[in-house]
Amino acid sequence: MKIENRFLKYISFNTQSDPYSTTSPSSKNQLELAEFLIEEMRILGLENVHMSEFGVIYGTIPSNNNHQGDVIGLIAHMDTSPDASGENVHPQIIRNYDGSRISLNEDMVLDPQEFPDLNEVIGHDIITTDGTTLLGADDKAGIAIIMSLAEYMYKHPEFKHNDIQIAFTPDEEVGRGTEHFDLDTFQADYAYTIDGGHINELYFENFNAYQVLVEITGKSIHPGSAKNKMVNSLSVGIEFDQLLPQHKTPEHTEGYEGFHHLHHVQGTCEKTRLEYIVRDHNFLELKDQLNDFKRIQAFLNSRYGYELVHITMHEQYLNMKDIIKDTPEIVEQVEIAMNDVGLNPTIVPIRGGTDGAMLSYKGLPCPNLGTGGFNCHGPFEFVSITMMKKGLELLLRLIRNNVYAKEDMPF
């Protein structure tokens, strides 16, 4: 099956995860794609294929070379972001993209001036949305690359390799992708998540991440007699947000710069809840950001004269760089493979997190490789079919380099 057809099939499944669910997986619709993948994996000769009670799929491409070389793991996630609809995705395929503006629908345009990543895919075959949903390249492009690898190995038994461990996780987009990941089942020496942007990019640094919940308890009084009595929690919530450093929001930061992001507000005069994510590559600077929240809490509680603001902080994940630095060879071999297939390896800090961050801290070093997906989590998302094909070529070279001496390389 062509890699693009495989991708188009996967995005036909609506697999949005639910940040407010307490189940694993967080949404039942992820299981529909999971069942489809399990059947496909078995058809392609994978062994030990099964889904755990928590919706994690495992399988092994069995060794055909008497177990020579490292056992490499490949991981992608099945869910799509809850930030935009993933239901009834209507993809548009554009062949040999010429660099011009792309009309998604009557009201929305993908313009290279606004989205300069389009300049990276001139001459490529690309897939966009119709402007009403996200696309799902994050991370169904990664699944398509991994499953295309499995199909290639099934059809080419002359391609020698050790065991290759495969896993597809739910709920990565809500920070729970590895919550129930079983390393005793996934017997790999190290792994790579296939989940990212430009195919030249290699990621082994990510944000340290916290969730901060700010709960404000006001004093609700009839507005006709509220003078000097009412404390409107909604107004205090606005005040709280304005007291945070305004230059440290996502729309004002890039690269290694950290941020706080207010992504959900719910409230009444009596009760308001602000939900933030706080991110920084430097853990000490992250702590400074968290202290900003505590200082504002103390200031407002003192100003209003009672325990108006309550804050809960929750660690989500840490920077995998602190783990990967102890196994530099797993990064170096990707750089070698990239050069071998004509790519330009570029180290990029992830302005987010991946399953690989959590897995690295669990004892499985796990950098991340790109897929050719751009503008994720919204209707301007697009993916390069050309880059997905190159991603497959990269994985084949990476695995083959692990088995063969350079002079014995079959290709």
Residues marked active site are found at 79, 172
Neighbours of 258 (CB within 10 A): 18
161 is in an annotated binding site: no
18 is in an annotated binding site: no
77 is in an annotated binding site: yes
389, containing H or E segment: helix 385-403
Residue 94 CA to residue 126 CA, distance in Å, equals 5
- φ, ψ of residue 405 to 5 degrees: the values are -70, 155
Vertex 115 angle, CA 394 and 377, to 5°:
70
49, containing H or E segment: strand 47-51
Structure-block tokens of residue 258: 């950290």
139 is in an annotated binding site: no
Residue 341 CA to residue 258 CA, distance in Å, equals 34
Structure-block tokens of residue 153: 């190995």
If 0-12 CB within 10 Å is exposed, 13-18 middle and 19+ buried, where does residue 265 land? middle
Neighbours of 255 (CB within 10 A): 8
What is the residue-wise DSSP string for 91-157? -EEESS--SS-EE-SSS-EE-TTT-GGGGGGTTS-EEE--SSS---HHHHHHHHHHHHHHHHHHH-T
198 is in an annotated binding site: no
The answer to whether the CB of 387 falls within 8 A of the CB of 405 is no
What are the binding residues for Zn(2+)? Answer: 77, 138, 173, 195, 377
What are the binding residues? Answer: 77, 138, 173, 195, 377
